[in-house]
Amino acid sequence: MKRKYPIKHWSHSSLLSFLRNPLAWHKRYVELVYDMPSSPAGIIGRAAHKATEHYYSGIGKEGAIELGLEYLRNVSDFEINFGKRVKSKLAQRKKRESMEREYLQAINFYLEKPPKHEVLGIEVSAVAKVQGLPLPIKAVSDLVVVSKVDRRGVDIIDHKFVAAFSPKGSDKTLFILQAIFNYYTVKKSFHKPVRRFIVYECKITRNQDGSPQVRKYIVDFRAFREEFIIFHRLLRDATTALLHTKIFLPNPSDIFEGENSFDIYRINLPREEFDTHFRPDQ
């Protein structure tokens, strides 16, 4: 009999969630409960993504910026994690005004001199079955473009709107991991050589030293053979862990979902656990 896996496929975000906080992963990717509020920075980033998506689909800069702003304004208050200090309606309104200013600043930084590409696909979502992996993988690529280093191949473009640039250095594990997910799905969708994964990081706040607000990072797939081997091993090991993990424990130290995972754990405790009337002095 085929073993029953609790998920249909792996994605970059689900794998990271599983490695970081299995209980929060189980809630989102197995039980499909999507009630975790997003940070203001996350909302700003998604609004900016919307704007770049519309820009590269052929809409002018002003129209693209307005559509991103419309997305931001349509996000409900309960979908935003304002933080413990922002409690009153007045404070939340001021925070939302601040979010709009930060969004407009960030997207104008990027669209001031946007990279030019021969676009083949926008928000390309695909699932690919990869030989040797028990579960398929899924990825969404912001842009798929004609490669500037090989006209027969394609490059994958990813936009990140960040509070701070990633640390400098060639060993950006998270970028490479995400790149390989997108490599397989784009290769399946376009049937062309996939040459590079290009990340454009746009810093939301203005650099005081006047340095560029956009930083470019390139993953050249020809230079990453060992990383593909590690990727396959990690996916196989994570999939095996799915079959053997019956109890998912919280990770309170997780800076993203620690408190939420502990709340989930508390909710799922059997009622009889609380009926024992345990006291610390017992």
pLDDT in tens, 161-186: 998 998 875 457 889 999 999 999 99
Mean of pLDDT values over 70-76: 97
Q: Judge whether residue 272 has pLDDT over 80.
A: no
In the block, tokens 């502990």 appear at 262
pLDDT attached to residue 160: 96
Burial of 186 per CB tally in 10 Å (0-12, 13-18, 19+) = buried
Average the pLDDT over 128-144 and give the result. Answer: 97
Three-state secondary structure call for residue 183 = helix
**How does pLDDT run across 81-135, given as a tens digit for each residue?**
988 888 899 999 999 999 999 999 999 999 999 999 999 999 999 999 999 999 9
Task: Examine the pLDDT at 4 and tell me if it is beyond 90.
Answer: no
pLDDT at residue 167, rounded to an integer: 81
pTM (2 decimals)?
0.85
Selecting from 3.30.310, 1.10.3680, 1.10.150, 3.90.320, what CATH number does the domain 7-31+116-243+250-269 have? Answer: 3.90.320
Residue spans of the domains in the chain: they are 7-31+116-243+250-269, 40-111
- Whether the per-residue pLDDT at 263 is higher than 90: the answer is no
CA-to-CA distance for 12 and 177, rounded, in angstroms? Answer: 7
CA–chain centroid gap for 170, Å, is: 21
Round to whole Å and give the CA distance between 276 and 282: 11
